[in-house]
Structures are given as C-alpha cells and as structure tokens.
Amino acid sequence: MNFYTQILVLLIGNTCCAIGVYFMIKGNLIMTPVDGLVLSISEVFHRPYSLCKNIFDISMILATIIICLICHSSIYGVGIGTVFSAFYIGRVISVLENFKFKTYKKCY
C-alpha cells in the first residue's frame, strides 16, 4: 500500500474504533479492560471520558518511552500511528459526546 492509502486506513480504523467505544459506553456494554479502566477513572474524577482517554493513552506512550530509555533499549511499538491514535480517538469521542443523539425510553 502507498502512504496515502495507509493514512486513509488509519483514519477509518481509528474513527470506527472511537465510534464503537462511544456506543459501548452509552449502551453500558462490557468494555475491554483498558477502556473499562479509563471509564472508571472518568467516573471517579468526574471528568469526560474523552479527556481521560487522551490523557491515559498519552501517558502510556510516555511510560513506554521512559521504560525503554531506562532499560537502554530501542523504542519499539511506538510509531507515528500510535501517537496519532492516542490523540485522535479521544477527540472523536469528544465530538460524539457533544453530539445529541435521539434516545428512546425503555417500555418496561
């Protein structure tokens, strides 16, 4: 794949991931452990999920870089796509949090 196709696939994949996470939160569905941890942090500190997601993802990248530097290892697993995803997914969730979806009351 060429570079532009890779960027397009990254954007589509991250957007779908963010939409999926948002609807899992709104539907009170079982989440992945990482997203569940972020949800717990956002509920305890009364902050929007999107903000906590951004801070958590960026802190995990920084922790990885610091551990690799302390261990005198090369920094692997952290590329431009990882950094982009850390910033992008939380921002897309933030847009969805501010968008008002029409909801229905349960009948039972």
Give the number of other CB atoms < 10 A from CB of residue 55: 16
Q: What contacts 15, CB < 8 A, 6 or more positions away?
A: 92
pLDDT at position 59: 96
pLDDT tier, 97 (very low <50, low <70, confident <90, very high otherwise): confident
Whether the pLDDT of residue 20 is over 70: the answer is: yes
For residue 45, give the DSSP letter. T
Predicted model pTM: 0.83
pLDDT digits over 52-95, tens only? 999 999 999 999 999 999 998 888 888 899 999 999 999 999 99
Whether the pLDDT of residue 100 is over 90: the answer is: no
Give the number of other CB atoms < 10 A from CB of residue 67: 11
Q: What contacts 89, CB < 8 A, 6 or more positions away?
A: 14, 17, 18, 21, 53, 57
Intra-chain end-to-end CA distance of the chain, in Å? 51
